[in-house]
Amino acid sequence: MTIDLLHTDSLLQAFPDAALVLDLSRDRVVRWNRHAADLLAGSPDAPALPFSSYLGSALPQFVVFIDEVDYRGEGWSRDVALRSEDGRTLRCEIRAAPVAGKQGWIILTLTDLSALERRAELAALAETFRAGLLEWKRTESFFAELERQNQLILNAAGEGIYGVNAEGKTTFVNRAAQEMLGWTTEDLLGNDIHSIIHHHHLNGEVYPSQQCPIYRSFRFEQVNRIEDEVFWRKDGKPIRVEYVSTPIYDQRVLAGAVVIFRDITERKENERKLRDALAQVAALRDRLEEENAYLQEAITSERAHHAIIGTSPAIKQILMRIDLVAGTDATVLISGETGTGKSLVATEIHKTSPRARRPLIHFKCSSVAREEVEAELFGQVRGAPGGASRDKAGKLELAHGGTLFLDDVEELPLEIQGKLLASLQNKTVKRLGDTREKPVDIRVIASTSLTDAQARRGHRIRDDLYLFLNVFPITCVPLRERPEDIPLLADHLLKIVCRRLNRPVRVLTERVVLQLQAYDWPGNLRELHNVMERAAIVSRDTKLVIELGETASSLQAHTAFLTEAQMQELSRRNLVAVLRETGGRVSGDAGAAALLGVKPTTLYSRVKAFGISDTDWT
Ligand SMILES: Nc1ncnc2c1ncn2[C@@H]1O[C@H](COP(=O)(O)OP(=O)(O)OP(=O)(O)O)[C@@H](O)[C@H]1O
């Protein structure tokens, strides 16, 4: 290295590291810069001390180093520890090169290794810091993005979503929730949301927050799923909601709850309308079904008994009274023994009344179990006491606009009689289990097998009900008191049963008629019907075989007789009947004479004697 001595000092001063020029031959520092002076704690000017005083015990290492520099022309070493003037040991890296043209001069640079290491540490620290800062920034923007996406998701959700902290204060509300509730984020954030939107039940009862499932979610860590409650809108209107409230945690500590809800007002309204419509359909269906059943029954009975048959004064009296009362709405009480035709009379009254287009509801009081009578009469709603599985109209309701026939009214339990009377008098009906009363317009016909005296004395019909029913009495006379009706009735019933049983039509002989009239008929028309049916079955040929109960023969001797006039009338009718049956044919196997078991000539003379003409049997 050549050195311009004029510039040595200024070069050394400009040098960024500690540097000095050393005269080895004199062990003197020729020049040093301020970094070297600082490092070795000397004065800024070149020191007066020999350089070896800075070497101390490291002199041998320095000598080895100088030999290397001398040999190689330059060198560096970290083995030479220097001592500063204030006594500190300095770990240095020494670099050296000879100064050209100056024998024994070298230039040294000293690098303080401790300072170097400190700077390296600082640099590493700065590097770490810079790297940390970047990482933190990345994390921050990651979370910011996450939050932004969460907000987007929350706001895009169709369900209302809001959060509450552990004190029940609102922490966030999404857009759908604001739209459904009408409350804004500003209204709700930080405020007790229960007292704003969830304070009352739909029926107006206060809803204490302690009972609220959302409150329980953040108090007792429960997920609660509620299907039908209300939230209150800002405009004071309720919306029906279903919701799930779920507890949320921050670092495993319960932090509150998140509520996800859906407005189900419209759905509930539609469900209600559907329920109402179905109930209406069910009610109509029930009514139609039952009306249909009654109409079918009415048709069957009308076909079977197209008229009240009989010419006795008793029957004429009944027909007259039917004519009198049918056109009115008056209550009728029909009395008479079993099988005397009470139901037939009731049907006739209804058929010829202005209510004929509406059904006749026949309620046979004796054939309904005591515990079912009330529900049968008044109807019931689903869930009524007794376990009704569906709404059902009672007979009173079914009879609305028509006629209610209370058959065997004395068989009604007394407590039901009172309730029935109240309902009939008020013209309303209330189904069991219901609170609503329906107006009804009913014409009542009742029947009883009790006589007037028995009814008044026996206490089987309440006095007030008896008075209510007994506006227009009709009495059906037992068959034994009107034997003159027996031939016609027997003939009529025989035809019906033969047709039904698909048997050849038989003809009543005089002997059979006399036999029937001699019997006392405790079962009246119903018994006569049975006897005819039995006869149609057991009779093999055209001859009719009658089987009567025991009382027939015993009573026959005492009570069964006819006057001559009755006998004549009976014979005449029998002739008419048989001619009608044969279409006027007298002779031949299927002729009237063969059927009656007499000669054709005998029959002709009888027809002549009775003055029977075609018009009688056609
Ligand atoms: N005068 C009549 N003409 C034709 N058929 C009759 C007559 N009287 C009764 N009947 C028939 O006799 C049967 C019994 O009559 P109905 O049921 O009306 O008697 P009831 O008095 O109501 O009997 P119960 O008290 O036992 O109910 C029925 O089939 C009915 O059509």
Under DSSP, is residue 532 helix (H, G, I), strand (E, B) or coil?
helix
User: Tokens 């979610």 appear where?
Assistant: 217
pLDDT over threshold 50, residue 464: yes
Separation between Cα atoms, residue 536 and residue 503, nearest integer Å: 7
163, 257: one domain: yes
- Across the chain, what does the average pLDDT equal? 87
Whether 528 contacts 489, CB under 8 Å: yes
197, 165: one domain: yes
In this structure, which residue's CA is closest to atom 9 in ligand 1?
341
Gap from CA of 476 to ligand 1 centroid (Å): 10
Q: Determine the pLDDT at residue 553.
A: 40
Mutate to test the pocket of ligand 1, among 306, 321, 322, 343 (most ligand atoms within 8 A of CB): 343
Q: Which of 292-306, 364-378, 469-483, 547-561 shows the lowest mean pLDDT across its residues?
A: 547-561
Q: Determine the pLDDT at residue 566.
A: 67
Torsion angles phi and psi, residue 517, rounded to 5? -75, -20
Q: Determine the pLDDT at residue 238.
A: 95
Separation between Cα atoms, residue 175 and residue 154, nearest integer Å: 8
| Rounded average pLDDT over 51-68 | 93
Number of domains making up the chain: 4
Gap from CA of 520 to ligand 1 centroid (Å): 16
Write down which residue in 454, 477, 500 finishes a domain.
477
Query: pLDDT by residue (tens digit) across 266-281?
Result: 999 999 999 999 988 9
User: Tokens 């023994």 appear where?
Assistant: 337
User: Tokens 């240095």 appear where?
Assistant: 92
552, 594: one domain: yes
Nearest residue to 304 via CA among 537, 57, 499: 499
Query: pLDDT by residue (tens digit) across 125-138?
Result: 998 888 888 878 88
Residues in the ligand 1 pocket, defined by CB under 6 Å: 305, 308-310, 315, 336, 338-344, 407, 449, 476, 489, 525-526, 529
Closest atom of ligand 1 to 309 CA is 3
Write down which residue in 263, 296, 329 finishes a domain.
263
Gap from CA of 461 to ligand 1 centroid (Å): 23
Gap from CA of 364 to ligand 1 centroid (Å): 14
Closest atom of ligand 1 to 364 CA is 27
Structure tokens that stand for 479 in this block? 């068959």
> 298 falls in which pLDDT band (50, 70, 90)?
low
588, 462: one domain: no
Query: pLDDT by residue (tens digit) across 511-521?
Result: 889 889 988 89
Does residue 545 lie in a domain region? yes
Separation between Cα atoms, residue 322 and residue 320, nearest integer Å: 5
Does residue 308 lie in a domain region? yes
379, 310: one domain: yes
Whether 130 contacts 182, CB under 8 Å: no
Provide the angle, in degrees to the nearest 10, between the axes of the packed helices 486-501 and 524-538.
50
Gap from CA of 222 to ligand 1 centroid (Å): 73
Gap from CA of 524 to ligand 1 centroid (Å): 8
Query: pLDDT by residue (tens digit) across 486-508?
Result: 999 999 999 888 888 888 888 88
Gap from CA of 487 to ligand 1 centroid (Å): 16
Separation between Cα atoms, residue 112 and residue 456, nearest integer Å: 139
Predicted TM-score (pTM) of the model is 0.48
In this structure, which residue's CA is closest to atom 12 in ligand 1?
525
Query: pLDDT by residue (tens digit) across 386-429?
Result: 667 778 889 999 999 999 999 999 999 999 999 999 999 999 99
Torsion angles phi and psi, residue 473, rounded to 5? -80, 145
Closest atom of ligand 1 to 528 CA is 12
Gap from CA of 598 to ligand 1 centroid (Å): 34
420, 325: one domain: yes
Mutate to test the pocket of ligand 1, among 302, 305, 351 (most ligand atoms within 8 A of CB): 305
Q: In the Cβ-directed half-sphere of 307, how many Cα atoms lie within 13 Å?
A: 9
CATH number of the CATH domain containing 238: 3.30.450.20
99, 164: one domain: no
Does residue 397 lie in a domain region? yes
Write down which residue in 263, 291, 312 finishes a domain.
263
357, 472: one domain: yes
CATH number of the CATH domain containing 382: 3.40.50.300
Does residue 127 lie in a domain region? no
432, 488: one domain: no
pLDDT over threshold 60, residue 227: yes
Mutate to test the pocket of ligand 1, among 300, 408, 525 (most ligand atoms within 8 A of CB): 525
Does residue 129 lie in a domain region? no
Range of 15's domain? 5-118
| Rounded average pLDDT over 528-554 | 76
Does residue 125 lie in a domain region? no
pLDDT over threshold 90, residue 260: yes
Does residue 278 lie in a domain region? no
Does residue 134 lie in a domain region? no
Gap from CA of 341 to ligand 1 centroid (Å): 3
In this structure, which residue's CA is closest to atom 31 in ligand 1?
305
Query: pLDDT by residue (tens digit) across 598-615?
Result: 888 888 888 888 888 877
Closest atom of ligand 1 to 345 CA is 18
Mutate to test the pocket of ligand 1, among 340, 351, 476, 500 (most ligand atoms within 8 A of CB): 340
Closest atom of ligand 1 to 485 CA is 1
Q: Can you count the helices (H) and strands (E) in the chain?
A: 24, 20
Gap from CA of 525 to ligand 1 centroid (Å): 6
Separation between Cα atoms, residue 395 and residue 362, nearest integer Å: 8
296, 439: one domain: yes
Strands (E), 67-152: 75-77, 81-83, 89-98, 105-112
Q: What angle do CA 148, 188, 253 make, to 5 degrees?
A: 65
Gap from CA of 522 to ligand 1 centroid (Å): 13
203, 316: one domain: no
325, 434: one domain: yes
Whether 548 contacts 506, CB under 8 Å: no
In this structure, which residue's CA is closest to atom 29 in ligand 1?
526
Gap from CA of 497 to ligand 1 centroid (Å): 15
User: Tokens 């049983």 appear where?
Assistant: 501
Q: How far is CA 456 from CA 95, 359, 407, 450, in A?
A: 147, 31, 18, 9
